[in-house]
Amino acid sequence: MNAAFELVVRTRSGSVQALVVNAADAAAARMGVAAQGMQVLTCQPRQRSVERPQKALRGGNKALDIVNLSYELSSLMAAGLSVTEALRTLAQKERSTARRAVLQDVLTGVNEGMPLSRALNRHPGRFPPLLIATVSASEQTGDLSTALLRYSEHQQSIKALRDKVVGAAIYPALLLGVGCLVVLFLLGVVVPKFAVLIESTRKELPWTSQLMMSWGRLVAEHLWSVALCSLGALAALALTVRHVVRTGAKSRWIEALPFIGANMRQFRHAQLYRTTGMLIHGGIAAPQALQLCATLLGDADQGRLAQAVTMIQEGRSLSGALNAAGLADPVASSMLTVAERTGTLSQILERVALFHESSLQRSVELTSRLFEPVLMIVIGLVIGAIVVLMYLPIFDLASSLQ
C-alpha cells in the first residue's frame, strides 16, 4: 500500500520546490524523484490534514515561543527559503511534540493553498491577533520577512521594558515577603509562648502588652483554627496574584493604587503607541490598528479607546480623538499633530512610545528608591513594636523583683 511523502527537491534549474509523492516507502519516493533529474533534499511522511490530532495540538500555545518563531521564520525567509520550506525546517528542528504538531499543521494549511495568516488563524488562542494581522497586511505588500522581523523586534522591546519594571519590583517584594514571614513567626510562635509565661506571674500589664498577650493566648488555645484561617488568607492572596498575572494587571482597582496604577497605565500606553505604529507601518489602517491593540490596555482604557476609534471613524483626527478620550498627554498630542501634517505617523508613534518608556523608567527608579527605605522603616517599626511589647512585662517583672 502506497503512502504519501513530502519531499523538498532541487530542480535542474537550481530552484527549490516542495513535492508530494505516493510511494511504497521513503526510498522508493527518493528514487522516483531522482529518476526525473531532481536532487532530493528532505523526505518525510506527509501528515494528514483531515482529523488533525487534537491531543497533540493541545497545549501548543503554552510551549510555542511566538517571538522566537517569528524571528527564526524571518531569518530563514531572508536567506531565500520559501514559507513552506521555512516552516518545514522549523518543524523538523523542534523537539517538543506539541510544538512540532502545531507547526506541521500550519505547514499543511499553507501546502493546501491557504495564505499564512489564514493558516495561523485556524488556531484560535495559539497565535496572537497582532501577529496574524501583521502577517495578513504583509501578504498584501509582499514583505513578509520584514514584517515578521519587525514584529519580533517589537515584542522583544516590550519584553525588555517589562523585565526592567519587574526587576525593579523584585527587591521590594522580597523585602516585604521576608518581613511578613518574620512578623508571622513572632505572632504565631514567639508571642504565644511569652503569653503563657507572663500569665503565670499575675502581673498587671500595660494595655498594649495585654492586647499582645491576648493574641498569644488566642493562638495557643485555638492553634488549628488560626492556622486554617491563615492558610485561607494565603490561598486567597495567591488566587488574587494569579488573577492579576493572568489578566495582565488590567483590573480597575489596580489602576487606582498609588504609584503602581499610574506606572501600569503609562506602561500600557507605551505598548499601545509602539504596537499601533508597527501595525500602521505594515499597512493596517489606524482605526483597525487601534482596535487590535485594545487588549493591551486596562479595563477603563479599553472603553476610552473604543470611543476614540468611533471618533476617528466619524472623521476626527487621530490626535484629537486620543486626546478627547484621555489616552494622549500634551506631549503625545503635539507629536501626533505634527505626524498628521508630515505623514510620518508610524515613526512618530514609535517616538511617543520611546518617550513614555523613558519617562516610565525614571518613574519606576524613583518609586523604587523611595519605596524601599519606607518599606524597611515600616517593617522595622512593626517588628520592633512586637518585640518591645513582648519585653515590657519582663522589664516590669525585673523591676518588681529588685
| pLDDT per position as a tens digit, 148-198 | 888 888 788 778 777 777 777 787 778 888 888 888 787 777 777 776 666
**What predicted TM-score, i.e. pTM, was given to this entire model?**
0.59
Residues 192, 198, 203, CA angle at the centre, nearest 5°? 145
pLDDT recorded at residue 27:
79
Integer Cα distance of 260 and 165 in angstroms: 11
Average pLDDT on 198-202 reads: 60
pLDDT recorded at residue 399:
64
39 HSE (CA, 13 A, CB side): 8
pLDDT at 124 over 80: no
Query: Rounded to the nearest 5°, which phi and psi values hold at 266?
Result: -65, -35
pLDDT recorded at residue 49:
39
| DSSP-derived 3-state class of residue 22 | strand
Mean of the per-residue pLDDT values for the chain?
76
pLDDT bin (cut points 50, 70, 90) of residue 8 is low
Ranges 32-41, 306-315, 355-364, 369-378: which has the least confidence: 32-41
Q: Cell 492579576 maps to which residue?
A: 244
